[in-house]
Chains A and B, each alone.
Chain A
Amino acid sequence: MTGLWLIVVAAAVLAFSGLPACFFSRRSCAAQRLSAALMILGSAIGGYGVFLSLSAPQNEAVSLPWTLPWGRFSIGLDALSAVFLIPILLVPMLGAIYGLGYWRQADHPDNGRGLGLFYGLLAGAMLMVVVARDSVLLLMAWEVMAVSAFFLATTENENAAVRRAGWIYLVATHSGTLCLFALFVLLKKITGSFALSAVETGALSPTLTTILFLLTLIGFGFKAGVMPLHVWLPGAHANAPSHVSAVMSGVMLKMGIYGIVRLIALLPPLETWHGGLLLALGAGAGILGIAFAIGQSDIKRLLAYSSIENIGIIVMGIGLASLGRTLHRADFVVLGLGGALLHLWNHSLFKSLLFLNSGVVIHATHTREMNRMGGLARHMPVTSTLFLLGAVAICALPPFNGFVSEWLMYLGFFGSLQVSASGGAAWPTAALGAIALAAIGALALACFVNALSTTFLGVSRQPLAHEPHDPDLSQLGPMLLLAAGCTIVGCAPQYVMPLIQQAASQWLDADAASAASLLSYVPLRWIGGIALVLLGAAGIGFLLLRLRLRTRSVCGVGTWSCGYARPTSRMQYTSTSFGQMIVALFAWALWPQTKAPKIQAPLPSAGFFSTTVPDTLLDHFVLPFFRWTGRLLPRLRLLQQGRVQIYLLYIVVMVLLLLIWETIGNKS
Chain B
Amino acid sequence: MNSLLNAALVLVLALNLFALGTSRILTVIRTVTFQGILLGILPLLVHGHPSLPAVYASAAAILLKGFAIPFMLTRAMRDVHIKREVEPLIGFLPSMILGAVATGFALIFAGELPLADEHMTPLLVPAALSTMFIGFILLTTRAKAILQAMGYLVLENGIFIFGMMLVEAMPLIVELGILLDLFVGIFVICIIVNHVNQAFSSLDTRHLAALKE
Write out the residue numbers on chain B whose beta carbons fall within 8 Å of the beta carbon of A642.
208-212
Chain B neighbourhood of A640, CB < 8 A: 212-213
Of B136, B140, B143, B205, most A-chain CB atoms within 10 Å: B140
Q: Are B210 and A644 in contact (CB under 8 A)?
A: no
Q: Contact between A659 and B205 (Cβ–Cβ < 8 Å)?
A: no
Is A645 in contact with B209, judged by CB distance below 8 angstroms?
Answer: no
Q: Which residues of A contact B142 (CB under 8 A)?
A: 645
With A652-B136, A659-B109, A663-B112 as contacts: A643 and B141 at CB distance below 8 Å:
no
CA distance A659 to B105 in the complex (A): 12
Q: What residues of chain A lie closer than 8 Å to B112, measured between beta carbons?
A: 663
- A652 — nearest CB in chain B belongs to which residue? B136
A649 at the interface (CB under 8 A from B): yes
Q: Does B148 contact A (CB under 8 A)?
A: yes
Other-chain contact of A645, B114, B140, B210, B212 (Cβ < 8 Å):
B140
**Complex contacts, B148 vs chain A, CB 8 Å:** 644
Quote the shortest CB–CB distance from A649 to chain B (angstroms). Answer: 5
Interface pair A643/B206, CB less than 8 Å apart: yes
Q: Report the bound CA distance from A562 to B208 in whole Å.
A: 75
Chain B residue numbers with a CB within 8 Å of A601 are none
B-chain residues with CB within 8 Å of residue A421 when the two chains form the complex: none
CB distance from A648 to the nearest CB of B (A): 5
Closest-by-CB residue of A relative to B210 is A642
Q: How far is the CA of A666 from the CA of B213 in the complex (A)?
A: 42
Chain A's interface size range is 10 to 19
Q: How far is B210's CA from A644's CA once the two chains are assembled, in angstroms?
A: 12
Find out whether the CB atom of B139 lies under 8 angstroms from the CB atom of A641.
no
Kindly identify, within residues 73 to 121 of chain A, every residue whose CB is under 8 Å from any CB belonging to chain B: none
Answer whether residue B89 sits at the interface, using C-beta atoms and an 8 A cutoff.
yes
Assess the A652–B212 pair: CB atoms within 8 A.
Answer: no
- Nearest A residue (CB) for B211: A642
List the A residue with the shortest CB-CB distance to B141: A645
Write out the residue numbers on chain A whose beta carbons fall within 8 Å of the beta carbon of B209.
641-643
Question: In residues 600-657 of chain A, which contact B (Cβ within 8 Å)?
Answer: 640-646, 648-649, 651-652
Q: A649-B140, A659-B109, A663-B112 are known contacts. Are A644 and B212 too (CB-CB below 8 A)?
A: no
CB pair A643–B208 under 8 Å, yes or no, is yes
Chain A 584-597 near chain B by CB (<8 Å), digits 1 or 0 = 00000000000000
Contact of B205 among A644, A649, A651, A666 (CB under 8 A): A644
Residue of A nearest to B129 (CB): A659
B212 and A641 form a contact (CB under 8 A):
yes
Bound Cα distance A641, B109 (Å): 31
Interface size on B, residues (CB 8 A): 19
Number of A-B contacts (CB under 8 A): 36
Contact with B along A542-566 (1 / 0, CB 8 A): 0000000000000000000000000
Q: Which residue of A lies closest to B105 (CB)?
A: A656
Q: How far is the CB of B209 from chain A (nearest CB, A)?
A: 4
The smallest beta-carbon distance between A644 and chain B, in angstroms, is: 5
Residues of chain A within 8 A (CB-CB) of B208 are 642-644
Closest-CB distance, A622 to chain B (whole angstroms): 26
Give per-residue flags for B175-213: 1 if the beta carbon is below 8 A from chain A beta carbons, else 0: 000000000000000000000000000000110111111
Q: Is the CB of B89 within 8 A of A645?
A: yes
Expressed in whole angstroms, the minimum distance between the Cβ of A646 and any Cβ of chain B is 8
Q: Most chain-B Cβ atoms within 10 A of its Cβ — which of A643, A649, A659?
A: A643
Residues of A within 8 A of B205 (CB): 643-645
Cβ-defined contact, B211 with A645, below 8 A: no
Residues of A within 8 A of B136 (CB): 648, 651-652
Contacts of B206 in A (CB 8 A): 643
A665 to chain B, nearest CB (A): 12
Q: Which of A230-271 contact B (CB under 8 A)?
A: none
Closest to A667 in B: B112
Closest Cβ–Cβ distance, residue B89 to chain A (whole Å) = 6
Q: Which residues of B contact A641 (CB under 8 A)?
A: 209, 212
> Nearest Cβ in chain B — how far from A161, in angstroms?
26
Distance in Å: Cβ of B106 to nearest Cβ of chain A: 11
Which chain A residue shows the least CB distance to B151? Answer: A648
Given contacts A644-B148, A644-B205, A645-B205, contact A652 B140 (CB under 8 A): yes
Q: How far is the CA of A663 from the CA of B110 in the complex (A)?
A: 11
> Please, which residues of chain B bring their CB within 8 A of the CB of A659?
109
Chain B residues near A651: list those with CB within 8 A: 136
Complex: A642 Cα to B212 Cα, angstroms: 5
CB distance from A643 to the nearest CB of B (A): 5
Complex Cα distance A227/B136, Å? 53
Interface string of B58-79 (1 = CB under 8 A from A): 0000000000000000000000
Please state if B140 and A648 are interface contacts (CB–CB under 8 Å). Answer: yes
A646→B210 CA distance, assembly (Å): 15
Min distance, Cβ A651 to any Cβ of chain B, angstroms: 8
Q: Which of B72-127 contact A (CB under 8 A)?
A: 89, 109, 112, 114
CA distance A643 to B112 in the complex (A): 34
CA of A646 to CA of B205, assembled, Å = 11
List of B residues within 8 angstroms of A652 by Cβ:
136, 140
- Please give me the residue from chain B that is nearest to A647 by CB atom: B140
Provide the bound-state CA to CA distance between A640 and B209, in Å. 9
Cα of A422 to Cα of B213 in the assembled complex, Å:
70
| Chain B nearest CB, measured from A637 CB (Å) | 8
Cβ of B210: which chain A residues have Cβ within 8 Å of it?
Answer: 642
Most chain B CB inside 10 Å of its own CB: which residue of A648, A652, A659: A648
Complex alpha-carbon distance, A400 and B209, angstroms: 67
- Least CB distance from B41 to A in Å reads 29
User: How far does the alpha carbon of A633 sit from the alpha carbon of B148 in the complex, in Å?
Assistant: 31
Question: 26 interchain pairs (CB within 8 A)?
Answer: A640-B212, A640-B213, A641-B212, A642-B208, A642-B210, A642-B211, A642-B212, A643-B205, A643-B206, A643-B208, A643-B209, A644-B139, A644-B148, A644-B208, A645-B139, A645-B140, A645-B141, A645-B142, A645-B205, A648-B136, A648-B139, A648-B140, A651-B136, A652-B136, A652-B140, A666-B114
Q: A642-B208, A645-B141 are in contact. List 19 more A-B contacts (CB 8 A).
A: A640-B212, A640-B213, A641-B209, A641-B212, A643-B205, A643-B208, A643-B209, A644-B148, A644-B208, A645-B139, A645-B143, A645-B205, A646-B140, A648-B136, A648-B139, A651-B136, A652-B136, A659-B109, A666-B114
Which residues of B are in contact with A by a Cβ distance under 8 Å? 89, 109, 112, 114, 136, 139-143, 148, 205-206, 208-213
Minimum-distance CB pairs A-B, first 4: A642-B212, A642-B209, A649-B140, A645-B140
